[in-house]
Every structure is written in C-alpha cells, then in structure tokens.
Amino acid sequence: MQIVVLPGDGIGPEITAATTGVLRAASERFQLNLRLEEHAIGHASLKQFGTTVRPDLLDMVRAADGLMLGPTATFDFKDEARGEINPSRYFRKNLDLFANVRPARTYAGRPGQLGDFDLVVVRENTEGFYADRNMEEGNGELLVTPDVVISLRRITRSCCERIAHAACRLAMKRRKHLTIVHKANVLKIGDGMFLDICREAAKSYPGLAVDDVLVDAMMAHVVRNPASFDVIVATNMFGDILSDLTAELSGSLGLGGSLNVGDRHAMAQAAHGSAPDIAGQDVANPVSLILSTALLLAWHGEKSRAVRYEEAARAIEDAVATAIAQGRTTRDIGGILGTAAMGAAVAELLHRKIQD
C-alpha cells in the first residue's frame, strides 16, 4: 500500500512523524509493505515552489492507495492567484471525497463526564454552505454591497443519496441505528429533501432503526446522553459542528479520528488545526492523526479485500486505547509524554504484540 504523506504546517510535521512511526510498526507486524512517500505542503511548499499545493501532487495522490494530510494553516491561505490554495479543500474537491467520517468514543482511563459512548458522525463533505467548494467555478459567497453578503447553500439529490447510503452501510456494520440531523422545519426545501432522501435510502437496509432530530435539539440531546446515538448523518455545516462537539465530549478534539472518503480515494486528516502557538514544543497530541490513518488502513482493506489492513487498523485503535488507559499520553489528556514519546508508546505496544 502506497500512502502519500503531507505533513502540513504548525504541529503538522510533529504529529505526522509520530504517526508514521506507528504506521511502520503496524506494517511490520501485519506485513503490510507500506510505502510512505512524503512531500511538502502548505507554507513549506509555498516557500519552495511558490504554491501551497503544487499541481503534480494531485496525480501522485490519484496514483497512490491513500493520502495522509497533516493540519495546515488554512486561515493563512486567502489568495489562490498567489499560490495560497487551501490544501484540505483542494483534495476534498478534486478527489470528490464526499463523506467525512468522524468517530468519537470514550476511553478507559479517560472517563467521560457524560458516561461512556461510541458514535460516528457521517458528514456530507462537498456542498452545503461551504462557499469554496459548492460551485463549479467562482465562490458561493457574494458581496452584494459593502454592507450586504449573500451565502449560497447548495443541496443536491445525488450528494444526499450517496451520503445517506454511506451512513446506512456504516450503521449496518455497527449497532444498526441511524440518526438524521437536519433543520427541515425552517430549511424546508433543502433540508426537507435531505431528510426525505435519507429516510428513503434507509428502507433498503432491513433491521436499520432510523430517527431524525432537528439540529438545535440535537446539540442538547448529544450533550445530555451521547450513548443513545450510533451513526449520525448530516449536511456539511451541521455535521462539521456536531463532529467537533462529539469529539470534545470524548475528552478532547485531539482524540477524534477523521477520514474523507470518495468512491475511489480516501484522505486521513487530523480533526483539528495546525496550532501554531504550540508548534515545535513537542506537546501536541498525535492521537487524532494516528486514528485517522487507522481509518485509512481499514478503508483500504475493505476496498481491496485484504483483511490484514483491517486487522492492522483495529490493532492501532487498541494500542491507542491501551496507551490512554496506562496514562502514556500527552499533557492535554492528563499524561506527561511529549508528541514523539506518545507516538513511540503506541508503536511500542504494536511491536510488543510481535514479540508476544
């Protein structure tokens, strides 16, 4: 399996280095023959090549089996004419990565204030209110006058159908419970269509329990009793907000994995930003990117029907859970380790299985 590795900005190179160490341990244990091909992205690429994403990277990623993207300084990149391309948006749009899969769960050793839970938010990833990706050309946000802005929200039947089926398939592998999050009482046409399509899609999955919740009410429900949810499906912006909330409820945004998935490609991406204020201090939590790459391995295993990649993904998740239970974590979640040391701890737990 060939993975293109793009370390990113801020803490990106640090958590990427920790994650690649874990991947190499998993590759050795499960004979994955992983080939990691690293390239500059973000500010490093802008300095070297005059653009945050050089054009030939897209072809490299398309030819590879997966992409690992470290956090990038998205807010810094405002003018594409000057090479300031948003790397996350660029790959999501050009690879048509329509589903953002965001698991959130609690861990032994880090008890949640709201009890134990294990859920997944499946977020539509290519349209909605996201002005930089919901138009074929141009931008979906318009400055009509200096004092008037109009933001266009695109909702299409095809995008609703494919995210609905992706969420249903995932729910059938888990506890067979799907919750549709929407605002169809106000956004009657757009969210009304999304809700109807999700309900219709769910009929194709026998035994799947389906309910729906208004997005504002969902924020109250999920902080009251997150254990009552299994797979949650939502449009882009609602899913973006909800997935950050559920990850934080598990103990930290840094504990949430994130996989962007299309029909042919997938991109592992940390759920958080580049945190330039702590860059270079060896204090960043690498778990989000580690778990994201585990999701990437599982996706590749299912796609290629190679069970060892799915086994490796579960082993990485188990090693992370063991490290957390043992208190071998970074300071943000109660430990004393640095970024590199926590990555090494997870890798060592994988190596220990080899020796056992």
345 and 226 share one domain? no
- Tell me whether residue 125 is in a domain: yes
Burial 59-90, CB ≥16 within 10 A → b, else e: eebeebbbbbbbbbbbeebeeeeeebbbbbeb
- Assess whether pLDDT exceeds 60 at residue 356: no
| pLDDT band with cut points at 50, 70 and 90 for residue 252 | confident
- Assess whether pLDDT exceeds 70 at residue 233: yes
- Assess whether pLDDT exceeds 80 at residue 246: yes
Question: Rounded mean pLDDT of 131-150?
Answer: 82
Supply the pLDDT for residue 253.
84
- Assess whether pLDDT exceeds 60 at residue 33: yes
236 and 302 share one domain? no
The number of distinct structural domains making up the chain is 2
- Percent of the chain beyond pLDDT 90? 83
124 and 221 share one domain? yes
For 175-192, what is each residue's pLDDT tens digit?
Answer: 999 999 999 999 999 999
Active site residues: 130, 183, 216, 240, 244
- Tell me whether residue 307 is in a domain: yes
Residue 323 identity: A
168 and 244 share one domain? yes
225 and 315 share one domain? no
The stretches of the chain forming alpha helices (DSSP H) are 12-30, 43-49, 56-63, 87-94, 157-173, 190-202, 215-224, 236-249, 287-304, 307-325, 339-355
Q: For position 206, which CATH number holds?
A: 3.40.718.10
Say which residue the tokens 């919740």 belong to.
213
For 336-348, what is each residue's pLDDT tens digit?
Answer: 999 999 999 999 9
170 and 67 share one domain? no
Question: Rounded mean pLDDT of 41-62?
Answer: 95
**Owning domain of residue 172:** 113-249
Question: Rounded mean pLDDT of 150-177?
Answer: 96
- pLDDT higher for 254 or 100? 100
34 and 154 share one domain? no
145 and 88 share one domain? no
pTM: 0.93
Supply the pLDDT for residue 95.
96
- Tell me whether residue 106 is in a domain: no
Q: Which residues have C-beta within 8 Å of that of residue 189, sequence separation ≥ 6?
A: none
Domain C-terminal end among 183, 218, 249: 249
- Tell me whether residue 257 is in a domain: no
168 and 47 share one domain? no
Q: Residue 69: which H helix or E strand, with range?
A: strand 66-69
276 and 321 share one domain? yes
